[in-house]
Amino acid sequence: MMGKCARKDEHYSPGDRTLTRMADYTSKVMLHMAASCWQPFLGFILLVILVSSSLSCPARCECSAQSKSVICHRKRFMTIPEGIPSETHILDLSKNKLRNINSDNFSSYPHLEELDLSGNLIRYVEPGAFRSQVNMYTLSLKSNRINLIPMGVFSGLSNLTTLDISDNKIVIFLDFMFQDLRKLKSLELGDNDLVYISHQAFNGLLSLEMLTLERCNLTQVPTEALSHLRNLVSLHLRELNISTLHPYSFKKLFRLRHLEVDNWPLLNVFPPNTLHGLNLTTLSITNTRLSTFPYQALRHLSYLTHLNLSFSHIGVIEGGMLRDLVRLRELHLVGAQLSTIESGAFQGLPVLRVLNISHNQLETLEQEAFQAPEGLEKLLIDGNPLVCDCRLLWILQRRHSIQFGDSQPSCSTPEGLHAQPFRELEEMQLSYYVTCTKPRIQENGTELLLVEEGQPAWIHCIADGSPRPIISWITPHHRQITNKANRRMTVYPNGTLEIKIVEVHDSGTYLCTASNAAGNETFSASLIVQSMSISDRSLYTNRTPQYYTDRNNVATNRTDLHSLPFGVDLKTILVSTAMGCFTFLGAVLFCFLVLIVWSRGKGKHKSNIDIEYVPRKSAGAAADPPDTSGPRRVNMKMI
């Protein structure tokens, strides 16, 4: 074959040999170029294979090499899954079926920064379970079944800033259980079966700024435990069954700025010194049974800017009581059962910008209630039975510039404006309907009243006008009568003044003033009190044993009469006295009759009477000698 091939080659011309050599050279060059081009591509493939082998991902989980996160949310794992890369920074194991956390579960992941174990079945966390997680700053154990956190569970978490252990079964927080969390800033403790927080439980939380404590079984504010949180800024206390707040409940919280007390259905009193020592900017006390505005408790909060007292039972905002809250910008009183906002109620609030008094029982809001009504930017007043008269004219005139929120307020009366939104009212309607009528006091014929001391007295002062006039009374001593200050005198809503028990010094001229936004009218009535005699005064004292009146016209209970076994009234005294008098007079009359009979028979009868009698023998008379002296005689003289 070699010979054949050689012979075959012998047929090639010199030109053919040259072409063959050029083809061989070209093929070699192309092979070299191909090898040089594929080298980078092969290297990239090799690098991807190496990276993917180093960043393995557990089965059914989602992993991200860029953020170094492993998301195993709701995968029904009963234990920590295998295959989690040691370089993982974010690990989400929420909504699984983990039951216990042991000390070696996370020891292989020293780079963890965020760990979410919420929504599992964890009952116990072993001390030292997170000792290797020095870089972790967020840990969530929310919605598990933990009933006790022993000492040492949080050791090693020296850089943790956020911790959530809410919605568990924890009953008590032990002393120093958080002492290793020196950089913790936010702590969620709500929705536990918590009944007690030890005084030293929060010791060591030097950097804590926000604490939430809600829906648990605490019956009082943990004052001593909270006093260790010297850097606390926000405190949220929600849905607690605490009925009483004690003075100095939040002592030593010098940096606290935001306090929320929400949904305490048993709280009805806010003592004056409850917030002593605080310098709040935001205060929210909502969904409580407070029946009065806590003026005294808020008086020192000169830096307060936001106040919320919604959903309570506060009926009145009195005039001039908020003047110390000079920086208040927002006031919310939604659904607080407000019926009256007195003139000057917001005096001393020069920067008030937002007022939310929606869904109350207000008929009006007068301009005189504000110090700077022109500065009001947002007024939410819907849901009130508003009477559109001259008192609301200042609001209606600004209806296109002031903000009313999402719900437009409307008029309940007069009939011509009923249910019409403020912004749809026309100027002609305002001039026709939004008016007021000056009060007019009706003639009642009580200009002069004569009453005996100890009796009740009524002085009538009935007035008409639009809006309904307010009636006030002045005594002859130039003092205004108020139902709170004087229990003996009462001013009824219809204007009638009642004096339950009149006294001599009540005599004089009483002045009634009926006033509304359109003006006022006065009426005077004179009261003359007739003084009682000493005997009548004694009867009067027995008739009213339950009260006496002091020099200040205040009815006071008589403590020295409580020992009476029964009550005595005037009718009983009169009947008893009459019966006694009749008996006495009858006896005297009988004696007079006997004397008259005796005097008429004087001189017709003997004044001496002789009586003879025989002494009766005793039982042993047979042995005695016989008595021969005869009967004995006795002489009696009639006087």
Q: What is the pTM of this model?
A: 0.70
User: Which range is least confidently modeled, 2-16, 208-222, 298-312, 600-614?
Assistant: 2-16
Query: Band of the pLDDT at 345, cuts 50, 70, 90?
Result: very high
The 10 Å Cβ neighbour count of residue 470 is: 15
- For 37-93, the pLDDT digits (tens) are 445 443 444 343 334 444 579 999 999 999 999 999 999 999 999 999 999 999 999
Tell me: pLDDT of 636 over 70.
no
CA atoms within 13 A on the CB side of 286: 17
Percent of the chain at pLDDT exceeding 90:
62
- For 462-488, the pLDDT digits (tens) are 899 888 888 999 999 999 888 776 778
Max mean pLDDT among 11-15, 258-262, 455-459, 612-616 falls in 258-262
- For 139-191, the pLDDT digits (tens) are 999 999 999 999 999 999 999 999 999 999 999 999 999 999 999 999 999 99
Tokens coding 599? 């005097």
Higher-scoring residue by pLDDT: 372, 33: 372
Q: Are 184 and 160 in contact (CB under 8 A)?
A: yes
Tell me: pLDDT of 545 over 80.
no
Tell me: pLDDT of 575 over 70.
no
- CATH code reported for the domain at 438-531: 2.60.40.10
User: Which range is least confidently modeled, 196-205, 321-330, 577-586?
Assistant: 577-586
Alpha carbon distance 256, 233 (integer Å): 4
Domain boundaries, the chain: 57-212, 438-531
Alpha carbon distance 236, 550 (integer Å): 50
**Helix, strand or coil, per DSSP, at residue 421:** strand
The residues with which 380 forms a beta bridge, in sequence order, are 356
Tell me: pLDDT of 518 over 90.
no
Query: What's the rounded mean pLDDT across residues 610-624?
Result: 52
Alpha carbon distance 593, 29 (integer Å): 173
Alpha carbon distance 386, 381 (integer Å): 9
Tokens coding 508? 């004089």
User: Which range is least confidently modeled, 176-185, 380-389, 500-509, 527-536?
Assistant: 527-536
CATH homologous superfamily of 57-212: Ribonuclease Inhibitor (3.80.10.10)
Max mean pLDDT among 359-363, 555-559, 607-611, 615-619 falls in 359-363
Per-residue pLDDT, 627 = 53
Question: How much is the mean pLDDT over the chain?
Answer: 82
Beta strands in 433-569 (DSSP E): 437-441, 448-452, 457-459, 463-466, 470-474, 489-491, 497-499, 508-516, 519-530, 547-549, 555-557
- For 427-466, the pLDDT digits (tens) are 898 888 888 888 998 877 677 889 999 999 999 998 998 8
* Residue 188: its H or E element: strand 186-188
Handedness of CA 299, 301, 306, 311 (dihedral sign): negative
Q: Are 344 and 367 in contact (CB under 8 A)?
A: no
